[in-house]
Every structure is written in structure tokens, then in C-alpha cells.
Chain A
Amino acid sequence: EPEVTQTPSHQVTQMGQEVILRCVPISNHLYFYWYRQILGQKVEFLVSFYNNEISEKSEIFDDQFSVERPDGSNFTLKIRSTKLEDSAMYFCASRVAHIDTGELFFGEGSRLTVL
């Protein structure tokens, strides 16, 4: 069964360092998302991406964050200068079509720990 894969599963970094989280969405999917879950809290929307551009972003997704799809398969989330409060589980998700009946498929997440 096709699945969304994310790497790394866990990354520990020092405050101020750049981090890139990688995702390989399901191959025929067209819409891509990043969500964040701070430990014990709700899953929060960060950004959606379609047709090689951001279609929507939340207030959390400030200038320190960026996304790109560099090669038609990977979908990356970059945090330019990490802060302690960026420590969270980051989930990538994809869907095949922009209809609200379309299921979002999630990866297993990348845990980011900022020290």
C-alpha cells in the first residue's frame, strides 16, 4: 500500500541551527501539507502546497519556515534558525485531489528536538 514517508524520524539540533525535514508523498498526489504537534497538544496546520507554490499558510509559518518540492518527489520543510519552541513532531501529509472528501494521508512524523 502506498504511503507517505518522512525522514529523519528524530533529529536533535542546537538552537539557531537550520533543519530540513524531508517527505516523500504518495506518487499520484497533488496536494501537500505540513502539520506540527507540540508534545501533548493538538495537531496544528502549518502550510499547504499545490502546483509548486504555497496555497495557504498559518500564523505559525513565519519567515523562518520554507517549503519546496525540489525534484518532483521530495517535499521539504526548512526551518532556517531553530528556536526552542520549534521542538515538536512534524507531520507531512498528501492528498490526491482538492475535494473535501479526499483523505489526507499522513507520514509517521519527524520528531524535532531543539536544545
Chain B
Amino acid sequence: GNSVTQMEGPVTLSEEAFLTINCTYTATGYPSLFWYVQYPGEGLQLLLKATKADDKGSNKGFEATYRKETTSFHLEKGSVQVSDSAVYFCALSDSDTGKLIFGQGTTLQVKP
């Protein structure tokens, strides 16, 4: 079945450091891929998405490229800020049902 695997957290970085959060997936068909972010005490917000192979999603300085050959959708940001501290979830959309399947989440803590 479809599944998403993210790197273990927590990830602790200093402000302005480079961020990578790894995400790999297993899927039948051609799912869309998403990164959602959950700030402390809040709900899930879409950060970025990519709908087909080689697409790059980007938002707020974050980027992720849909890599079909490596079944990956790694999240990157060149210079993190304290305000980026949150839990990041990688997800795929089941191409048959439309439901989202989430990874386990990666907590990012950015220190000043």
C-alpha cells in the first residue's frame, strides 16, 4: 500500500542554517506530493506541493522537488529562521481515493 517515510526528528538548527528534511514514498499510480506544516498549537497548513515528476514546489523559501526515480520529496530551505520552528509532515495523495497519507512528522527547532 501507499506510505510515506520521513527522517527522524527532532532536528535542531541555528538560525540561518541550511535545512533538509528527507521524505521518501511508496505508491502505486502517480500521486501528488505535499509538505504540511504544523506550528505549535495550530492545525495543519499546506506549505507546498508538486503534482508530477520533476515538479518543484516552493513557498516561503522552502522547496521540494518530486523525484520519481528516487521516490523522494525532500524539503529544503537555504536559511532557516526561528519562526520556522514547527512540525513538518510529508504527505501523498492517493490517486484513487484522494485521501492524504502522512509521514510521521519531523520536528524542527531553530535556535537564535
Contacts and interface: CB of A to CB of B under 8 A. Distances in A.
Interface of A: 31, 33, 35, 41-45, 48, 55-56, 91, 93, 95, 98-109
Contacts of B103: 42
Nearest to B42: A108
B89 interface: yes
Contacts of A93: 44, 100
A104 B36 CA distance: 10
User: Which of B45, B49, B98: most chain A Cβ within 10 A?
Assistant: B98
Contacts, number: 59
17 contacts: A31-B98, A33-B99, A35-B100, A42-B104, A43-B44, A43-B105, A45-B101, A56-B97, A91-B44, A95-B98, A98-B98, A100-B51, A102-B98, A103-B49, A104-B46, A106-B36, A106-B43
B45 A48 contact: no
Contact of B98 (A35, A42, A100): A100
B21 to A, nearest CB: 15
- What size tier do the contact residues of chain B reach? 20 to 34
Contact of B43 (A42, A98, A107): A107
B99 A43 contact: no
Given A99-B98, A104-B100, 16 more contacts: A33-B100, A42-B89, A43-B102, A45-B100, A45-B101, A98-B98, A100-B31, A100-B32, A100-B51, A101-B32, A101-B49, A101-B93, A104-B46, A107-B43, A108-B42, A109-B43
A56 B42 contact: no
Contacts of A109: 43
B95 interface: yes
